[in-house]
Amino acid sequence: MANPVLSPARAGIESSADDSRGARRLLRLFDRALIGLVEGACALLLAAEIIVLLAGVTSRYVLHAPLVWSDELAGMMFLWLSMLGAVLALRHGEHMRMTALVSRLSPARRAFVDTLAIVLSLGCLGLILVPAYGYASGEMAIVTPALEVSGAWRALALPVGAALMLMVGFIRLASVARVRHVMIAVAATAVVAGAFVWLGPWLESIGRANLIVFFVGVVAVGIFSGVPICFSFALATLGYLGLTTFTPLEVIVGRMDEGMSHLVLLAVPLFVFLGLMIEMTGMARAMIHFLASLVGHVRGGLSYVLIGTMYLVSGISGSKVADMAAIAPVLFPEMKARGAKEGDLVALLSTAGAQTETVPPSIVLITIGSVTGLSISALFTAGLLPAAVLAAMLCFVVWLRYRKTSLGDAPRLKRREIGRLFLIALPALALPFVIRAAVVEGVATATEVSTIGIVYSMIVGLLVYRRFEWARLSRMLVEAATLSGAIIFIIGCATAMAWALTQSGFSQDLAQLMSGLPGGAYAFLGISIVVFILLGSVLEGIPAIVLFGPLLFPIARMAGVNEIHYAIVVILSMGVGLFSPPFGVGYYSACAVAKDDPDKGMRPIIGYMAALIVGLILIAAVPWISTGFL
C-alpha cells in the first residue's frame, strides 16, 4: 500500500484543494473589505447629504441667506451615492428583477439561469466602462459655477461605480457559480453577441423593425431570464445604438448621467431613511395601536386598521416592502388570533400597498415629477383623495367579507383609553402633515423636506417615545443607500433607453397612433390603464414611468387630458399591476413579509383587485378626484 504522504497524485490533489480553499478565503476577505469600504462611503455620503440640505433650508428660510453652493455639492455627492449604492444592490441581489418564471425552474436549471444573468450583467458593465471613462474625461474641462471645481469630480462616479460593480460581479460569480455553468454561459453569450454583430448590416437595413428586435426581444429575454431590469434596458440600448446607428456610446452614458442627476431624485434616499427612522423610533407602532383602538372591536376591524395604517405610513420609506414589514408583524398575530385566514391577510396587505401608491411623499410621485416636469407639490396634493377612494373600496370588500364574522374576544376600549392612545400617537400622526405643510408653504422643496422629517423623527424618538437606537443608524444609512442605488441606477438606464426610442422616431409614431384613436380622452385613458397595469406587473412602477412617461405625457396633453390627473391614473394602474399575481413582484414581496404561501392568497385577492380596478375606473372617469384641490 502506497504511503499517502509520499504519493505524488494524492499530494497534488491535496495541494490543489488547499490552494482552492486558500483562494476562496482570500476572495472572501477581499470581498468583505471592499464592501465594507463601499458601505462606509455610502453612509458618510448620505449623512453629509442630510447635513448639507438641512443647512441649505436653515440658511435660506431662517437666516434669509441662501447657500449658493449647497445644491451643487448635494448633486455631486448624490451621483456618487447612487453609483456606490448600485454596487451594494448588486452585491446583495437587490436590483429589481423578475423572478416569477425563474423561481419555477428546478434548482439545477435555476442555478444556471442565475449564472447566465450574472454573466450578461457583467457583459453590460464591461460595455459601459470604457465609454463612462471617456465621458468623465470629457467633463474634466467643465468648471462648476458655484464650487468652481472640475466636472470630472462628479462624472468619475460613473466609471468608478461601473468598475466596482464589475469587481463585485466577478467575485459573486467566482463564489457561487459552478465552473461548468460559467463556461456555458460565457460561450452562449459570446455566440449570441457574435451573431448580432454579424447581423448588424441586416439589422440596420430593416429600419424601425429593429426596435422590435432590441426593445422587445432583447428586453423581454433579459427580464424573463432574471437579468436585473436595469441591465436588460442597458443591453438593449447599447445593442441598438452600437449596431444600427453611428451614435458614440459616450452619449448613452451622458443620458444615464442626465437621468440620475435630477436633484429632485435626491429625495429618494432621504425618504427611505426617514421610513426606517419611523419604524426604529416606534412611531409606526404608535399609529397602529391608536387606529386599532378606534375600530379594533368591530367585525374585520383590524383589516380597516391595516388599510388606514398603510395610508398613513406608505410612501414615506420609498419601499413598499419596508412599509409592509413595519405593519404586518404588529397586526397579523392578533388578526390570526381573531380568526382571519392567512390567504386573506396577504391579499389585503398586497392590495393595500397598491392603493397607497399616490400617498405623499411617495417616491413614485417624485420620480414622475422629475421625468415629466410636473409640480411635485401639485402631485402631492392630487394624490391624497384618489388613494382614499381606493381605500374606501377595499374597506367595502372587508365589510362584505366580515359582516357575519363573530367578534371573538376583541374588547371595545373606553374613551379615556382611546384618548390616551391618541395623545401617544399624535406626534407620529402629525408627521405626514408636517411634511406636506413644509412643501406647500414653501419652507422646503420636495427634496429638502425629508430632512425636516428626519430631524422631527429624531426629536420625537428621543424626547417623546424615548426609543432611539444609535447603533442602528449606520446600518440604516447603508440600507437606504442600497435601495436608492437600485432605484436611481434603473432610472439612469431607462432614461438612456427612452432617449434611444425618441431618437428612433418611435415616439412620433406612438403619438400619431394614440392621438388618432376614436373616443378621445376617455379612450386614451382606458388604453393607458390597461398598458400600465401590464407594464407594472413586468417592469415595476419606476422603470415603466421613466421609460414611457416622456413618451406618453405629451400625447395625454394633446388628447386633452390633465397631466396631473393622468399622472395619478398611471401611477395607480402600475400599482395594481405591481401587486397582481401571478407576475406582480409586489404580491410576492407581501407574501415574503407575511411568511405565507403565495398560492393561499390567489383566490382571496380577486375581490380586492376587483375593488381596486372599479375605483381606478372611477378616478379616471372623474378628473375632479385628482384635480379638485389643486
Rg (CA), the chain: 26
359-396 pLDDT tens trace: 877 778 877 887 788 888 888 888 889 999 999 999 99
Cell 474634466 identifies what position? 140
Tell me how far apart the alpha carbons of residues 261 and 253 are, in angstroms, rounded to a whole number: 12
Angle at 277 (CA atoms; ends 274, 279), nearest 5 degrees: 120
3 within domain boundaries: no
C-alpha cell at 137: 474625461
Residue 272 is inside which H or E element, if any? helix 267-280
What cell numbers appear for 61 in the block?
428660510
Last residue of a domain, one of 211, 235, 261: 261
Give CA angle at 257 (253, 261), nearest 5°: 175
pLDDT tens, residue by residue, 524-579: 888 888 888 877 776 656 667 777 777 788 888 887 889 999 999 988 998 888 88
Q: Which residues contact residue 113 at a Cβ distance below 8 angstroms, ignoring those fewer than 6 apart?
A: 102, 105, 225, 226
Asked, for residue 6, whether it belongs to a domain, the answer is: no
Residue 339 shares a structural domain with residue 253: no
Q: Please check whether residues 201 and 269 belong to one and the same domain.
A: no
- Please report which residue ranges of 296-414 form alpha helices under DSSP H: 301-313, 320-337, 342-355, 363-372, 376-402
Beta bridge partners of 143: 150
Same-domain status, 467 and 591 = yes
Tell me if the bond preceding 582 is cis, omega within 30° of 0. Answer: yes
Residues 247 and 272 in one domain: no
Mean pLDDT of the chain: 82
In sequence order, which residues have a C-beta less than 8 Å from that of residue 585 and are 6 or more positions away?
Answer: 96, 98, 99, 100, 540, 578
Q: Which of 451, 622, 497 is nearest to 59 (CA)?
A: 451
Where the chain has pLDDT below 70, the residues are: 1-22, 99-100, 296-297, 314-323, 325-326, 329-330, 405-411, 440, 446, 507-508, 510-511, 514-517, 519, 538-543, 582-583, 585, 589, 592-593, 595, 597
- Answer yes or no: do 291 and 187 share one domain: no
Among 213, 238, 261, the domain-final residue is 261
**Residue 251 and residue 368 in one domain:** no
Measured over the CA atoms of residue 560, residue 563, residue 565 and residue 566, the dihedral's sign is positive
For 602-624, write each residue's pLDDT tens digit: 788 888 999 999 999 999 999 99
Residues 192 and 277 both lie in one domain: no
Amino acid at 557: R
Indicate whether 300 belongs to any domain. Answer: yes
Does 478 reside within a domain? yes
Q: Tell me, what DSSP letter sits at residue 95?
A: S
Domain that holds residue 454: 265-627
Does residue 143 sit in helix, strand or coil? strand
Strand partners, 150: 143
Q: Would residue 467 count as lying in a domain?
A: yes
- Write out the three cell numbers for 186: 460565457
Rounded Cα distance, 590 and 127, in Å? 36
pTM recorded for the entire structure:
0.78
Q: Is 121:71 a contact under the CB 8 Å cutoff?
A: no
Residues 487 and 460 in one domain: yes
Is residue 14 one of the residues assigned to a domain? no
CB–CB of 135/151 below 8 Å? no
Specify whether 468 is located in the same domain as 547: yes
Q: Are residues 102 and 121 in the same domain?
A: yes
Same domain membership, residue 288 and residue 223: no
> Is 526 among the domain residues?
yes
At residue 277, the pLDDT reads 86
Handedness of CA 38, 44, 48, 49 (dihedral sign): positive
The CA distance from 238 to 628, in Å, is: 44
Judge whether 100 lies within some domain. Answer: yes
Question: Could you give the number of structural domains in the chain?
Answer: 2
| Contact (Cβ atoms closer than 8 angstroms) between residue 585 and residue 548 | no
Domain boundary among 261, 281, 297: 261
Pair (211, 278) in one structural domain: no
- Whole-number pLDDT of residue 617: 93
